[in-house]
Amino acid sequence: MTEIKKQGKYEYIITKRGNMLTDAVIFASENMLRHILSDKAHLQIINVAALKGIVGPAVVMPDIHYGYGFPIGGVAAFSTEEGIISPGGIGYDINCGVRLMRLNINFSDISSRDIEQFLSLMYNKIPSGVGGQGTLKLGRKNIEGVLTEGGCWAVKEGYGLDSDTENTEEGGCLEGADPAEVSQRAKERGLTQLGTLGAGNHFLEIQHVSEIYDEQSSSDYGIRRGQMTVMIHSGSRGLGFQVCEDYLKVMRSASARYGIKLQDRQLACAPLRSPEGNKYFKAMQCAANYAWANRQVMAHRVRLCAKAVFGSSTSVDQVYDVCHNVGKIEKQKGRELLVHRKGATRAFGPGRKEIPERYRRAGQPVIVPGTMGTSSFLMKGTEKAMDMSFGSTAHGAGRMWSRSQALRNLRGGAVKKELDDKGIFLMAKSFKTVAEEAPQAYKDISEVVQVCHGAGLSGKVARLLPVAVMKG
């Protein structure tokens, strides 16, 4: 504790020392800090602060927990000229992200039978589970289109509306992606998984808006109390995993070749401007585009299922789609920086041109999902976040227990009964996953959100309560 100084109610600083090139900042409550120190995730952000070309502080969000290389919840920016790019700073599930959709239906106007039917239909139409394969089989030519055009490819092929990509971070596509830098094995894994949920912490959830904190911003986002919403949490599936795996091997030798001193070999990296760094950047962009196309196809099927259950006049409009695990070149603090966000959400403040015009007054919509059976939150980006965290905030609750610990402590059947008792429908491929992803295995989402709100990283707009959950 003596190495960490309290700088504000929810802000702690580890000042530059040893091999660190900059300070490290932890956003947390006092209660959370104790767990962070016992988890030793703070040691990982100290190592990140020693990476070549880092600009400003290395930052972690209140949902921090131990990860591969970077901690989950880590944010770090690097000079595009002298800095590095690290697969461990982006993660295996590239562009794991969340999409929020709003329905023109009041929760009070529908029956529990309707909810159960809606969930069951989506469960049948959207494949899930470990290695789950979809009904949409891509050919070699189509996979190239997905990797270069992302969500825009899906909309062009009839899976959704132009307004979907307009309300997606980066318009659902990172420009500069090059499929030539993606291995054949990664492409093969992507051929059969587009439009699938996956397993682990991924989910599809039917919710209703239980509380509004910011009337003006919620109106700008088209959200009102009592409204039904659907949230989709998924990523780039096997393709993204393979891209990370492939380039970790490349980076392990590249780090030594470029004389980069690493405090942890899991932080293997290369200069962004090197051939290895450039190739990974383009391949990572391909995986990010695949993830947006994946969520876009699922969103299209959610829309069809809603119309089938509630009637053809039902509208299902996208609020926003944010990504969690990505590296992007952004104009920050008057210069171009490569920002790594691993288990963190972009939270740009009002007026930024990257935000859809309809949302610029409020700031970027930020979606912070809870865990099976707990609240989720719609928040907004802030000017303060641009100064403190490179326009970033928390991405979810953050684990308290490892998956193995959750399995030792819980049984999936008992977790399902708890949800049943709360009136929350659950459909899942595996009770093992249900136990691993139980609410008890995660931090209190309300506390995470309060830290973000209190520190000024993002502002509370609305609270969403689950009524039905689909897990892989």
Give the catalytic positions in this structure: 395
How far apart CA 386 and CA 157 sit, in angstroms, is: 36
**Tokens (6 digits) for 399:** 């684990």
Dihedral sign, CA of 298, 299, 300, 304?
positive
Q: Which of 461, 344, 347, 464 is nearest to 398 (CA)?
A: 344
- How close are the terminal C-alpha atoms of the chain, in Å? 40
Rounded Cα gap, residues 121 and 203, in angstroms: 15
Strand partners, 165: none
Query: What's the CA gap between 469 and 443, in Å, rounded?
Result: 19
To the nearest 5 percent, what fractions of the chain are helix, strand and coil?
A: 40, 25, 35
Q: 300 in helix, strand or coil? A: helix
* Amino acid present at 238: G
Length of the chain: 472
Q: For residue 413, what are its two tokens?
A: 């059947």
State the residue for tokens 């023109």: 104
Looking only at Cα atoms, what is the longest distance across the chain? 64
